Structure 1
């Protein structure tokens, strides 16, 4: 594969790729479209559709109540994504959530439009859901995918 310096990735391309994950069963720490993924696996899979994956995440606990103080998800996002103000979010942005203010952010999704986002949650599949007042109260960070050239196959 080569990097095409003339083709950039649009929000429409990201959203189209993300929507292709709908129905993928939830599987903790997995990242395989149609086979299984968790919320981070969904983000990783969409990222990999356009850019080389920058790092493999370490093993992580799915428990929301794991208030160990480590912001591993936020720290990784800061290394590889572009921070966006909470109020400036746009379709194709990545949303990070925390259940309680004192807990680390441990859930992620992709904003599809002003009212809906895509995510994977235990016991279900990758689903499109409303960005309800509950989710908005728990929104902690917003990020944009990188502004990098897209990967194209030369094979």
Structure 2
């Protein structure tokens, strides 16, 4: 699978900075959640979304054993070992030990992360040890 230009992925991701947080939204400058951010980047870098995202509740990640986000990403992206992920990679995080991965971000540098965070909107911040410890999966966007 050919992958998208990582510099373009990062530039598109940064164009979402300052977008307010809004559950289930995916409109740059208007509102998005972490999945909506990834969906918006997909649309700009790859093209139309390959399938609709069903409505989801705020607590969806606290229930069920299935890795919903990772399974969906595997259907359309190139999976990497998280230790090999670099700038431009889509990262999935486990927010609690033994929970399923339910948070999404984009690595923008070797030590920086861009993501949509509740109450803060789309921000870029250091990829701290606490964030690194939560990384569960990594993927690359395919080429258009």
TM-score by length of 2: 0.92
Question: How far, CA to CA, are the matches of 2:101 and 2:54 in structure 1?
Answer: 16
RMSD: 1.5
After TM superposition, the structure 1 = structure 2 runs for residues 28-47 of structure 1, keeping only pairs within 5 Å, are: 28-47=23-42
Q: Cα distance, 1:67 vs. partner?
A: 3.0
Gaps of 5+ in 1: 1-7, 151-155
Of the two, which has the highest radius of gyration? 1
Q: Contact 2:4–2:141 (CA<8 Å) still a contact in 1?
A: no
Question: How far, CA to CA, are the matches of 1:105 and 1:59 in structure 2?
Answer: 17
Question: How far, CA to CA, are the matches of 1:74 and 1:9 in structure 2?
Answer: 19
Question: How far, CA to CA, are the matches of 2:134 and 2:4 in structure 1?
Answer: 28
Q: Cα distance, 1:135 vs. partner?
A: 0.6
Q: Cα distance, 1:46 vs. partner?
A: 0.5
Question: How far, CA to CA, are the matches of 1:101 and 1:26 in structure 2?
Answer: 25
Q: Cα distance, 1:128 vs. partner?
A: 0.1
Residues 1:88 and 2:79 aligned together = no
Question: How far, CA to CA, are the matches of 1:99 and 1:17 in structure 2?
Answer: 25
Question: How far, CA to CA, are the matches of 1:100 and 1:9 in structure 2?
Answer: 31
Structure 1's consecutive aligned runs of 4 or more residues displaced over 3 angstroms after TM superposition are none
Q: Contact 1:64–1:99 (CA<8 Å) still a contact in 2?
A: no
State how many pairs are aligned.
Answer: 141
After TM superposition, the structure 1 = structure 2 runs for residues 11-30 of structure 1, keeping only pairs within 5 Å, are: 11-30=6-25
